[in-house]
Amino acid sequence: MTRLGMVIDLSRCVGCNTCAVACKEENNEPLGIWWNRVLTVGGGDYIDVPEGEYPNVDMHYLPLACQHCEDAPCVKVCPVAATYKRTEDGVVLVDFDRCIGCRYCMAACPYGVRNFNWGEPVYSPGVDFPVGHQGDHYDKYNPSRLVYMPERPKGVVEKCTFCVQRIDNNEVPFCVETCPEGARVFGDLENPDSEISGIIQNGNAQQLLPELGTNPQVYYVPPYQKKGIVPDYANQSVINANESTIAPGQSIIDLAEENGYVSGFVPPQSKKKGGE
């Protein structure tokens, strides 16, 4: 069997938001809707603000979209089976023909990545045609399910599909193609020889909120650990960064604890997450 997954290497992520904008373009997301956002794990209410006291400051970025959980809470609560997990590759999808807009899934999702079309979709001024993928797309394995349409109407829930319209045609998700730092890798988690499996094994990759048992198909390589001798400003000296006491990946777990230090542009309906 195939389990499609993504690994995001936070040690290479520079928070540029190219992936977020790529997602916005490919999937024709209306204003106010972002399937994929780049959060700052730092010290303020805004992106790019570190924590600490100058110059002993720290931050990293955390791109966040649907985690395509193995045991997806959203799937369980959907009363009409609009949200479903594709058995063939484990991708979690929304059937726009079926979604009734009850938003149970949004309440159930622990990652706050689902967006709801509260009103008529509004797009970039002047761009009065759908951008990105053109035309509807039906699930490759379940051709009655409408899993992509360029303009989702008011009243449906939408979220990252791993660019189902692309992966069904053997292309990688658009964020993977566009990430300027090569921080994103897509592939089959079940195949031990795949690039993604190698990175997960060697890079100490982690899932978000592992304690919830959702078992996401999205993994993160921890933020960059500095190496070598670095200045120690408090003592006007130098220290060895290799002896830093920060545990690898600690910051990812910070997110799990919702410590309020996560900032980013958060769609209004998901505001309960993060520190906004």
Partner 1 sequence: MVKEGYSVSLREALNPRLSRRKFLALLGAAGVTVGAYEILRGSVLKSLQPAYEEQITNASLTKVRTAHVNNCDGSCGLLATLNGGEIVKFSPATFNDPDFPPRICLRGLSQIQYVYHPDRLKYPMQSVGGRGSGQWKQITWDEAASLIASKFQSISSQYGSKSIYIAPYTGNLSVINGLIGVGYRFASVIGASAGDFEGDNEGDSASPAGAVEELGAFDGHELNDLVNSNMIILWGNNLAETDIPDMRFVLDARDNGARVVYIDPRYTPTAVVADQWVPLRPGTDGALALSMINVIINEGLYNSNYMLNYTVGPFLVRQDTMLFLRENDLSGNGSNNYMVYDTVTGQILPYNSPGVVPALTGTYKTANGVSVKTSFQMLSELVSKYDPSTASNITGVPAQAIQQLAEDFAKANPAAIKVGFGGISHWYYGDLTYRALITLSALIGYIGVHGGGVTTYNGALLDAATDLTDWLTPDGKQYNYIPPLSFADQVFNGNIKAAWFPCDNFINQQGDTNRTIKAIEQLDFVVVSDAFMTPTAKYADIVLPIATEYEKTDLLLGGNFFLQYTPKLIEPLWESMADLDMFALVASKMGYGSYFNGTAEDYIGLVLSGFPSGTTLDDIKANGNVMRLKDEDIATSSYQPITKPYVPFYQQSFPTPSGRIEFYVESVVPYYKTGLPIYKEPNEASPQNVLYTKYPFVMITSHTRFRTHTQWDNLAWLLEINPHQFVEINPSDAAAKGINDGDKVKIYNDRGYIITTARLTPGMRPGVLNVYQGHWSDFPTGTVNNLTNQDINPAQSVVYLFQSNTPYFDVLVNIEKVSS
* Contacts (CB under 8 A) with partner 1, residues 183-222: none
Identify whether the C-beta of residue 79 lies closer than 8 Å to the C-beta of residue 60.
no
Identify whether the C-beta of residue 174 lies closer than 8 Å to the C-beta of residue 183.
no
Closest residue by Cα to residue 114 from 94, 139, 130, 128: 94
3-state SS, one letter per residue, for 69-111: CCCCHHHHHCCCCCEEECCCCCCEEECCCCCCCCCHHHHHCCC
- From ligand SF4, partner 1, none, which one binds at residue 224 (CB under 5 to 8 Å depending on kind)? partner 1
Q: Quick one: which of 14, 81, 234, 238 contacts ligand SF4 (CB under 6 A)?
A: 14
240 part of the interface to partner 1, by CB under 8 A: no
Each residue 110-149 as x (binds ligand SF4 by CB under 6 A) or -, in order, gives: ----------------------------------------
Alpha-carbon gap, residue 276 to 274, rounded angstroms: 6
Q: Quick one: which of 126, 193, 202, 243 contacts partner 1 (CB under 8 A)?
A: 126
Q: CA geometry: angle at 120 spanning 112 and 33, to 5°?
A: 30
- From ligand SF4, partner 1, none, which one binds at residue 185 (CB under 5 to 8 Å depending on kind)? none
For 265, the token pair is 């542009």
Within positions 155 to 174, which residues make up the interface with partner 1, using CB under 8 A?
155, 168-169, 174
- From ligand SF4, partner 1, none, which one binds at residue 54 (CB under 5 to 8 Å depending on kind)? partner 1
Q: Quick one: which of 8, 59, 93, 105 contacts partner 1 (CB under 8 A)?
A: 59
Element (H, E) at 5: strand 4-9
- From ligand SF4, partner 1, none, which one binds at residue 246 (CB under 5 to 8 Å depending on kind)? none
